[in-house]
Amino acid sequence: MIDRTGSSPHWHDGRSVGTVMADVCIALVPGLICYAWLFGPGVLIQCALAVCFALLLEFAVLRLRGRDPALFLRDGSVTVTALLFAVSITPLAPWWVCLCGIAFAVIIAKHAFGGIGCNLFNPAMAGYVFVLACFPVQMNTWPALPAHGIGASLDSIFPMGTTAPDMLSGATALDELKNRLELMEMVSEIKSETGTPMIFGYVAGAGWEWINFLYLLGGIYLLARGVIKWHIPVAVLAGVVLVSLPFYLYDPEVHASPLFHLFSGGTMLCAFFIATDPVTASTTWPGRLIYGVLIGALVILLRGWGAYPDGVAFAVLLANVFVPLIDLLTRPKVFGEQ
């Protein structure tokens, strides 16, 4: 008899959404370790918290929606969302900030739109923007160099009312640059100060440039494994350079260099891990280039003229809005179609 359950092909390359997501997690590890090494173990605690919250919430929502949690939890997509969210927020954020962000990401940004494959916005970035808007004070308290101990991290994440995280915090390079440029200071002037804590490193923010560098290496691993394709990361980085370079050439004392932008804030994380989320990105290759350049350009514009020091999350969400349009306009000509 003919077996209708097994249509050809009878072979498969063995990859699944789960293995893809596992590769993404592996690629994040070097950057994460570097982050924890430089700025204290807070980021790891945030990751653990976020993953726990995300799995619990995903389980609950899947049950409510009548889906099989065992099957859908195994795809690992919610774990990746949680990790990307956790490395995006400040390691000093209290636990309830993490919970709120994850809840928004999983319940609203992901499942309200239909779950994996259907969400219009990148869930991690939606959650991040949600908590940024709700808790600006907590979200803008970033740790300073050198790394603090695990005790201080725990105090900050689980505040008991007495210790303020201010003691650990300091301005990030993007922050410092933005604030002082607004005070009409020169870039060279700002960067030349060597106070404590150290804010500027070799090319960008002290510490942050290394984290970005390791995210870049993680991204190259993903490219080598075929998990992501080159179009989006290259386009994002190209967008960053293309928009920042003319300003920098016009007046290097008022605008930071493209190199500074590439290795500051969340640029590399965005280019290789966030913008490459296939569900919320364009599906055609010309569309992916447009989508990437759009994100890169928006990152620079938002950093220069936006209200927040970094613009990665907003850039990604704004570009997400344009994806259906980009897909429509870049639909490849069907072969033989004139």
CB of 335 to another protein, least distance (A): 5
CB of 34 to another protein, least distance (A): 28
Three-state SS at 205: strand
Q: Which of 281, 295, 300, 313 binds another protein (CB under 8 A)?
A: 281
298 binds another protein per the rule CB under 8 A: no
The whole-angstrom separation of Cα 225 and Cα 208 is: 26
CB of 11 to another protein, least distance (A): 5
The whole-angstrom separation of Cα 106 and Cα 260 is: 33
Q: Which of 32, 98, 99, 116 binds another protein (CB under 8 A)?
A: 116
Q: Which of 63, 117, 230, 251 binds another protein (CB under 8 A)?
A: 117
CB of 240 to another protein, least distance (A): 24
CB of 95 to another protein, least distance (A): 30
Q: How far is CA 282 from CA 100, 232, 276, 290, 291, in A?
A: 28, 9, 9, 9, 7
The whole-angstrom separation of Cα 53 and Cα 97 is: 11
Give phi and psi for 180, each to the nearest 5: -80, -25
* 183 within 8 A of 238, measured Cβ to Cβ: no
Q: Measuring CA to CA, which residue among 143, 145, 173 is closest to residue 155?
A: 143
Residues 210-249 that bind another protein (CB under 8 A): 229
10 binds another protein per the rule CB under 8 A: yes
Q: How far is CA 252 from CA 2, 47, 176, 192, 287, in A?
A: 71, 37, 16, 14, 32
Instruction: Estimate to the nearest angstrom the gap between the alpha carbon of 294 and the chain centroid.
Output: 16
58 binds another protein per the rule CB under 8 A: no
Omega before 332 within 30 of 0, i.e. cis? no
338 binds another protein per the rule CB under 8 A: no
Of the two residues 180 and 229, which places its CB atom closer to another protein in the complex?
229
171 binds another protein per the rule CB under 8 A: no
CB of 197 to another protein, least distance (A): 42
Of the two residues 9 and 195, which places its CB atom closer to another protein in the complex?
9
Of the two residues 288 and 303, which places its CB atom closer to another protein in the complex?
288
Q: Which residues bind another protein (CB under 8 A)?
A: 1-3, 5-13, 15-17, 19-20, 71-72, 75, 77, 115-118, 229, 278-279, 281, 283-285, 331-332, 334-336
